[in-house]
Amino acid sequence: MAELVNRLSWSKSRAMSLSKCAREFYWRAYGSWGGWDRARATPEAWQSYVFNKMKNLPMLVGELIHHVIEQVFDTHQRGRPLPVVEQSLTSLRDRLRQAWRESREKRWEQSPKNFHNLYEHFYGPEPDRETCERWRDEAYQIIRNFYELDLTQKILASPAEQIRTVEKLEEFVFDGKLLFIKIDLAWHDGEKLHLIDWKTGGTDDSVEDQLAGYALFAGRKWGVPIEQMLGYPVYLRDNTIGANCLAPEKIERLEASIRRYFDDITPRLVDTARNQADINAFPMTEDLWKCRNCFYRQLCAR
């Protein structure tokens, strides 16, 4: 097996982490490296790896909804009978219950990658029953809304090969730098490539950059010109479809942001060729309010 190499790279989540707190970014991108091998890792690397895999309850619910939606489109691509809404609701219920048990029983101590670890269980307080039931019921309604959406029915009625990718982590090169992107759904309607971002929460100011990233990938990897793409969010809580967010100037803005990201990180590295960093080059934020809900706050003793 080839040795794993920590490559300097950009993703939307890493860029957001860096803008929030340089120390959080360090733990995420560098301090956690090798933490998956607990027998060989330093205590800090193991702990930061644990926190890399941590989620809070809203994140968990959103992730599991995405998994259920992915399962529907994957079934369509395989040419198998589609699950009805009741089957998807059962799948979501079972996933939620399993994740809750795993976290509460701290099974993640065996393997943070394979078992869920909720922020609310690790740091507290654990949500009360009413809160958990509210999140569950909202998740159920989102799945029902997904099935009722005309767009969903249109995609599922189209040939399976018109779906280009579903929730797959993709990588590509921009200006000689490595970028990672995960497109919720890319679907071609016969005329245009639809780049779709499923939203399980409210409106999100970062959605334009998210969709610009989708388009940047589609243009560079698939050779699709922007005029042949549509990129938009779908808000599943109220079943509304946002406007097309794609425009050349928005992609150019994202490209400039990506260049700034690399320009910010590169001078902080102690060995650029090996992508090695010193923790002291990534100071903790002075905005202490950001630390309250930070997954890594135990490492920073805040």
pLDDT, tens digit, 9 for 90 and up, residues 190-221: 999 999 999 998 887 789 999 999 999 999 99
**β-bridge pairing 177-188 and 193-199:** antiparallel
Does residue 25 contact residue 282 with C-beta atoms inside 8 Å? yes
Q: Which helix (H) or strand (E) holds 197?
A: strand 193-199
Give residue 203's pLDDT: 80
pTM of the model: 0.95
Q: Domain boundaries in the chain? A: 10-149, 157-257
DSSP track, 145-196:
HHHH-HHHHHHHHS-GGGEEEEEEEEEEEETTEEEEEEEEEEEE-SS-EEEE
3-state secondary structure of 199: strand
Specify the CATH architecture of the domain 157-257.
Answer: 3-Layer(aba) Sandwich (3.40)
Question: Nearest 5°: phi and psi at 37?
Answer: -100, 85
Please enumerate in sequence order all residues whose Cβ is within 8 A of that of 265, keeping only pairs 6 or more positions apart, or say none.
8, 18
> What kind and span of H or E run contains 233?
strand 229-235
Tens of pLDDT, residue by residue, the chain (302 residues): 567 899 999 999 999 999 999 999 999 999 999 999 999 999 999 999 999 999 999 999 999 999 999 999 999 999 999 999 999 999 999 999 999 999 999 999 999 999 999 999 999 999 999 999 999 999 999 999 999 999 999 999 999 999 999 999 999 999 999 999 999 999 999 999 999 999 998 887 789 999 999 999 999 999 999 999 999 999 999 999 999 999 999 999 999 999 999 999 999 999 999 999 999 999 999 999 999 999 999 999 98
pLDDT in tens, 41-86: 999 999 999 999 999 999 999 999 999 999 999 999 999 999 999 9
